[in-house]
């Protein structure tokens, strides 16, 4: 069987940096509160004319170039996002497919909240290892700033914009020394769906002109419930993946969690009796970029020289749905 290999990883963030002090000019908050409760110092926000597919296209183009694959050879584009250019359709993946001239590719969006990248990696692997696709472009892209309620200090300070993209192909196409996905674990706890949602604009509460409260179109979250779910999700994912793949936590070089809140990661590390340093944390720079946060983290590790050939990492995601899960990757 052909194994799925990661040929390239590239990222992009918008140029505009929004600091905690900037947020304190918008809502009643402070750098001290945000940093002490979340670990965040700044985030990147898009310009008014930029949408999710713009970031996804930049990251995707860079990933195709570094992989050295031709546009014609891409069979599938998967865009993991919770902040699509348009509500539900057309898929953001289709807009990226067109912008990159991927004429032979199918394209669809994958909606799994902040676990979108983890789900996307396993989906790409399934397509490749089943032989249904030879080359897959996986994009995790988000513009959370445009769907945040900028009057709600409980949520708007938490999010940032960004994108990451990976090109994956089968080992029978070469790339033997490239990173391999050893295993994944995906779960859903739909009973918690109400903890993190956009209440209106879908078929449950369709937009009604003059009646829909505009804030119901934006992100709403019960922070306490998500916090408790997230700590448990990280612990369960890591212990299950270690058992499932036979990779011990000592063998794992680094755990790469979704960057939602540094305190969630600290609490999970404590429960797992692992040092905090085992977890890569860069929330300070980017805040929570949902499906883009794990590729942004992995890319920073590669650039800093802390993720190298021969290392084994575990990714862990958790988010709206509620979804959770992770991947074990031999780099």
Catalytic residue numbers, as ranges: 114, 258, 288
Q: Which residues bind ligand ACO (CB under 6 A)?
A: 29, 33-34, 37-38, 114, 153-154, 157-158, 196, 221, 223-224, 226-227, 230, 260-261, 288, 318-319
Nearest to 274 by CA among 252, 295, 292, 259: 252
Positive or negative, the CA dihedral 187, 190, 191, 196 is: positive
User: Which is closer to ligand ACO, CB of 84 or CB of 115?
Assistant: 115
Radius of gyration of the chain (CA): 19
User: Which is closer to ligand ACO, CB of 260 or CB of 297?
Assistant: 260
Report the alpha-carbon distance of residue 269 to residue 279 in Å, rounded.
8
Report the alpha-carbon distance of residue 161 to residue 287 in Å, rounded.
9
Counting beta carbons within 10 angstroms of the beta carbon of residue 206, is it exposed (0 to 12), middle (13 to 18) or buried (19 or more)?
exposed
Q: How far is the CB of 250 from ligand ACO (least distance, A)?
A: 28
Q: How far is the CB of 158 from ligand ACO (least distance, A)?
A: 5
User: Which is closer to ligand ACO, CB of 54 or CB of 220?
Assistant: 220
User: Which is closer to ligand ACO, CB of 170 or CB of 319?
Assistant: 319
H-run or E-run covering 219: strand 219-221
Residue sitting closest to ligand ACO (CB)? 223
Report the alpha-carbon distance of residue 157 to residue 257 in Å, rounded.
20
Q: How far is the CB of 32 from ligand ACO (least distance, A)?
A: 9
Q: How far is the CB of 38 from ligand ACO (least distance, A)?
A: 5
Distance of CA 199 to the CA centre of its chain: 22
Report DSSP state, residue 183.
E
User: Which is closer to ligand ACO, CB of 17 or CB of 302?
Assistant: 17
User: Which is closer to ligand ACO, CB of 117 or CB of 318?
Assistant: 318
| DSSP β-ladder status, 323-330 and 135-143 | unpaired
Q: How far is the CB of 226 from ligand ACO (least distance, A)?
A: 4
Positive or negative, the CA dihedral 96, 61, 288, 307 is: positive
Asked if 181 contacts 166 with a C-beta cutoff of 8 angstroms, the reply is no
Q: How far is the CB of 159 from ligand ACO (least distance, A)?
A: 7
């Amino acid at each position: 069987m052909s194994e799925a290999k990661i040929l390239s990883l590239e990222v992009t963030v918008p140029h505009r940096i929004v600091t905690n002090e900037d947020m304190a000019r918008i809502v009643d908050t402070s750098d001290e509160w945000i940093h002490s409760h979340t670990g965040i110092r700044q985030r990147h926000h898009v310009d008014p004319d930029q949408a999710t597919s713009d970031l996804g296209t930049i990251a995707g183009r860079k990933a195709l170039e570094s992989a050295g694959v031709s546009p014609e050879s891409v069979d599938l584009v998967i865009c993991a996002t919770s902040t699509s250019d348009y509500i539900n359709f057309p898929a953001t993946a289709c807009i990226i497919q067109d912008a990159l001239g991927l004429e032979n590719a199918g394209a669809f969006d994958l909606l799994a909240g902040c676990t979108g990248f983890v789900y996307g990696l396993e989906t790409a692997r399934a397509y490749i290892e089943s032989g249904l696709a030879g080359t897959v472009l996986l994009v995790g892209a988000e513009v959370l700033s445009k769907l945040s309620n900028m009057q709600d200090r409980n949520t708007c300070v938490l999010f940032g914009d960004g994108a990451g993209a990976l090109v994956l192909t089968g080992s029978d196409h070469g790339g033997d020394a490239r990173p391999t996905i050893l295993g994944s674990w995906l779960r859903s706890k739909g009973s918690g769906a109400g903890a993190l949602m956009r209440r209106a604009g879908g078929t449950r509460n369709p937009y009604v002109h003059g009646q829909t409260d505009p804030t119901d179109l934006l992100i709403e979250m019960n922070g306490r419930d998500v916090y408790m779910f997230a700590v448990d999700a990280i612990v369960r994912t890591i212990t299950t993946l270690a058992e499932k793949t036979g990779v011990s936590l000592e063998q794992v070089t680094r755990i790469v969690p979704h960057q939602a809140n540094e305190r969630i990661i600290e609490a999970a590390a404590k429960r797992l009796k692992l040092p905090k340093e085992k977890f890569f944390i860069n929330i300070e720079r980017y805040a929570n970029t949902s499906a883009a946060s794990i590729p942004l983290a992995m890319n920073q590790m590669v650039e800093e020289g802390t993720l190298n050939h021969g290392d084994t990492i575990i990714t862990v995601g958790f988010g709206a749905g509620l979804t959770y899960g992770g991947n074990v990757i031999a780099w």
